[in-house]
Structures are given as C-alpha cells and as structure tokens.
Chain A
Amino acid sequence: TQLLEQSPQFLSIQEGENLTVYCNSSSVFSSLQWYRQEPGEGPVLLVTVVTGGEVKKLKRLTFQFGDARKDSSLHITAAQPGDTGLYLCAGGIQGAQKLVFGQGTRLTINP
C-alpha cells in the first residue's frame, strides 16, 4: 500500500510569515499533485510535478518534487489570509489512473 504522510497536520501563523509543508513517502510516484480545499468545497488542483528535482512556482507558492520522486514540499512566502485552507498532496501511481492522497495540512493565516 502506497502512503503519503503530510506534516505538519495543522499550522497557524501570522500574515507575512513564510512556511513549508512536507509530503513524504517510502514509495516512488510517477507524479505529485498539490491541491487546496476550502470549507464546503472540493479540492482544487494547484500544480503537478513529474520530474525528480523539479521546482514550480505559482506566485508566492513554490513546489518541489524530491530527486527520488518520493517526497515533495510546498513553500509559501509572505503568507496571506487568503492562503488559509486544507492543502493536500496526491501521488500518481504508474500504470494506474488513480491518485493516493495524504491526510492534508490545515493552514490558518491570521491577519
């Protein structure tokens, strides 16, 4: 069974601070996605990384895929209250059209 562990599970910081969320596994994934989910809504895809070592930036968000394609990180610079939400990582399984999800990191940015 392929599992993804996210840390921390909860994070509450002040507006303007930086933060990093981690997604780790002992398994290799063909791709890694990050989603953000707001209360009462479904997850929304933020980014997909597919190559070991790949780095993608989305405004103040930086996503990195580990060299061995077993882990990923999400770094937010100068966090804003609008960044509040549940962040989910999901790994793509080679040869199967499905994703394995981590348990999520609930992020709260206080004004």
Chain B
Amino acid sequence: ETGVTQTPRHLVMGMTNKKSLKCEQHLGHNAMYWYKQSAKKPLELMFVYNFKEQTENNSVPSRFSPECPNSSHLFLHLHTLQPEDSALYLCASSQRDRVGNTEAFFGQGTRLTVV
C-alpha cells in the first residue's frame, strides 16, 4: 500500500461520543498534518507534527486531541464535538526537500458529521 491512508472514510457521531480518526503514511515523510475543510472556507491547518513532535497547534479547541506515536501514524481523538465541527478532515504528510520546499500529500479524508 502506498501514499496516505485515512480511516474511517465516513463517521457520524453524537455530541457525547468519543471517536478517533486514523492516518498512516507510507512515503517515509518526516512531517504529518491535520487539516479541516469546511464548505466555503479555505483549508484550515489544525496541527503539525515533525519527527513525532507537535510543532504547531492553530488554536484548535481541546475537544480535538492529536496523537503521533511515530512518524508514520497520526491520530485525531474527538470528544464532545459540536455540530459546527462537521467537516472533511484531511491528513497530509510531507518531506522537506534540499532547498526547504514543502509538498503535501493528502489522504482521502474522513467526512465527519456531528449530530
């Protein structure tokens, strides 16, 4: 298997549920990301991990909790979400090139609906 794989593809959860999104990259990259994509909004960067260390948290509410056990796996733990959290959640990975440029490779996303 190659590329970036996300599971599940679709998730419906109640506001009191706890669920987790999983992402796995098979590209040997050193950085992984969570993005949120809502209708009519640009892709919003949520979290960045470099070599398993979180290097960015873009003021994301604590009801979203990331976990990066190694450079190939990334999780997003969800609890007590709100309906406005419904969106497509995208995982991506990247490897900085020799001159410092970044190209992101995305998974297919998890379509999350909070009811």
Binding site for B on A (CB under 8 A): 4, 30-31, 33, 35, 40-45, 48, 50, 88, 90, 92, 94-95, 97-104
Contact = CB atoms under 8 A, between A and B. Distances in A.
Contacts of B81: none
Q: Which of B94, B99, B103 has the most CB of A within 10 A?
A: B103
A30 B42 contact: no
B105 A45 contact: yes
B66 interface: no
A70 to B, nearest CB: 16
Contacts, number: 63
Given A45-B105, A104-B42, A94 B100 contact: yes
Interface in B15-68: 31, 33, 40-43, 45, 48, 50, 55-56
Contacts of A102: 42
B106 A40 contact: no
Contacts of B111: 40
B82 interface: no
A35 B107 CA distance: 13
A42 B90 contact: yes
Given A31-B102, A97-B94, A98-B102, A42 B33 contact: no
